[in-house]
Structure 1
Amino acid sequence: MNIFQVIIGTEILNGRREDKHFKFLRDELLKRGYELNASFIIKDDPNLMKDIFYLIKNTPDSFLFCYGGIGATPDDYTRELAAAVFTDKEMDYNRDFIKKIDEKFPHEDNSKKYPLAYWPKNAKPLWNNPINGFPGFYIDNRYFFMPGFPQMSHPMTVEALDKFFPPIKKKERYSLIAYAKESEMLDIMNKIPEYVEFSTLPKLDYTSEISFAGEKAKEIYEWFKNELEKKNIKFEECKSSNS
């Protein structure tokens, strides 16, 4: 499963607003045993947005959480681009959303609000919006599109996660602090199998935090410790954790 996040907003990149989405989604996924594959913060640039959407669509087993750009002003491109990339340009009005708009504003001409409900064809609503009740939408149970306002989109995110991301077993992670430079351990690291999730975090005091997770992580962790001992490299084991 390859989970992507796209945060759309020139105002974040030019400093007018601070991002609130990355940490929220990352932590919600981790609580359920999932991890992000990548996160993008991009300008309100339709060509860039389309390129990113195609990258995600063309990635096997991909999922998308997209924040921003589903309004009805001229700089809101997300609805149309989502249709162009994920539903072959077909769009339609969501009648339940139209009804919600008319119920909320019963004595107004709502024609200029209706474009909010013009979605990629067959998109379904994410209703959990405690601010104004207006939904985001999702396509094929995989691609989720929500407003840029965290107060609206974060409850929708939880709705999507609760529907489609049941909790799974978290990976066991085994870590140690090696009292050596990375270069001193490179020949050992090069023998680590690719099926093991491996990372090294060097520190300025010439120590390195080494960790293993995933399939047979415990076995490779024990092997790595033995290899360090053969080289007379001291290390200190860390408490194992779930990640």
Structure 2
Amino acid sequence: MSSPPEFGLLVIGDEILSGKRTDKHFSKIVELLAARGLELAWAQYLGDDRARLTAALERVLALPRAVVFCCGGIGATPDDHTRQAAAAALGRALVPNEEAQALVRAHAERMARERGVPFDPAHPDNLQRLQMGVLPAGARLIPNPYNGIAGFTCDGPNGAVVHFVPGFPVMAWPMIEWVLDSSCNHWFGAQAQREHSVVLYGAMEAALTPLMERIEAEHPGVRVFSLPSVDHPVHGRHIELGVKGPAALVPAAWRQLHDALRGRGEKMGPEQVRDR
């Protein structure tokens, strides 16, 4: 089994940046990856600007061994630019995908039946909907269990794979789960992570920094973190100090950190272990 790739997330939409809607994708993707022993390496928010989207996708598609989920902007209204930006970033044409358009047409037929009206494939609304099946050449489809209108996947030149799904969580999340379970399952568990931390009362980060640096130097692959708080409702002013990294490497680093803190006479509170 090869080592896992870098997992990334792009969330698209002016409504997120303006605060009109609150992003829910970030926390959910972290949850979906963690449940499979994987972790998110980065996330980026972008508005509905085609030039900026194209530049961002050019950078992402050029990455080596990355798996990126891009949520939003794949519809057929004037403020949806993700399909066009993906094609431009890849230097490919946007072309009608017969399977994708058949799925769009089937959805339109279902909507007509539900309304009790005849389906007219030549109606301007239905012709416009077919634009959701116009995709970058070579794109592969991602099934959408909610309404059948597919997302799509594009491969970059250096090993990156970008999966494009709608912005609606009710559609995007099961589609992302399908991608993970169908094409990323050979990496499951490979990034199992652990955090082990302790609450410190009255400690100073500056005084702890040399110890933190020593732990990281002596335990490659493990990172030390310090999270100060000034108004915690239970612990008041304190520092949460701990180590995090691959589950197999954390225990030794934690023992060294804990012993050093005890030797310094630090006032220690509750410990916490988080497995991801």
TM norm structure 2 = 0.79
Which aligned pairs between 1:1-243 and structure 2 lie closer than 5 A?
A: 1-85=5-89, 87-103=90-106, 104-105=108-109, 106-109=119-122, 110-130=126-146, 132-140=147-155, 142-166=161-185, 167-168=188-189, 170-179=192-201, 180-191=203-214, 192-193=216-217, 195-204=221-230, 205-215=236-246, 216-236=249-269, 238-243=271-276
Render the CA deviation track for 1:179-234: whole Å, top value 9, x for unaligned: 31212211111222252122111121442112212252221211122222332223
Q: 1:153 to 1:224 in 2, by over 3 A?
A: same
The C-alpha deviation readout for 1:97-152, integer Å capped at 9, x for no partner, is: 2222334435321432222111111111111231x211111123821101122222
Cα distance in 2 for residues equivalent to 1:15 and 1:229? 45
Structure 1 contact 181–206 (Cα < 8 Å) conserved: no
Unmatched tracts of structure 1, length 5 or more: none
Asked whether the equivalents of residues 32 and 165 of structure 1 are also in contact (C-alpha less than 8 Å), the reply is: no
8 Å CA contact retained: 1:5, 1:64: yes
Contact residue 126 and residue 135 of structure 1 kept, 8 A: yes
Q: Kindly provide the amino acid, as one letter, of the partner of residue 136 in structure 1.
A: G
- Give, as a single letter, the amino acid of the residue that structure 1 aligns with 2:43: S
Q: Judging changes above 3 Å, is the alpha-carbon distance between structure 1 residues 72 and 165 closer, same or farther for their aligned structure 2 residues?
A: same
CA distance in 2, matches of 1:4, 1:139: 14
Distance 2:265 2:256 in 1: 14
Alignment check: 8 A CA contact 1:172 1:240 kept = yes
Is this contact kept in 2: 1:181–1:207, CA < 8 A? no
Matched residue type, 2:223: E
Change (3 A) 1:190 1:138: same
Do the aligned partners of 2:105 and 2:130 also contact (CA within 8 Å) in 1? no
Residues 21-80 of structure 1: CA distance to partner in whole angstroms, max 9, x if unpaired? Answer: 222212111111122122222210122212322332343322211111111222211011
Q: How many residues align?
A: 241
Aligned-residue offset at 1:237: 5.6
What is the alpha-carbon distance in structure 2 between the residues aligned to residue 16 and residue 174 of structure 1? Answer: 37
Alignment TM-score, normalising by the size of structure 1: 0.89
Structure 2 CA distance, aligned partners of 1:99 and 1:207? 59
| Contact 1:65–1:143 under 8 Å retained in 2 | yes
8 Å CA contact retained: 2:199, 2:241: yes
CA distance in 1, matches of 2:25, 2:272: 30
- Gaps of at least 5 residues in structure 2 are 110-118, 231-235
Q: Relative to structure 1, is the Cα distance of residues 107 and 139 closer, same or farther in structure 2, using a 3 angstrom cutoff?
A: same
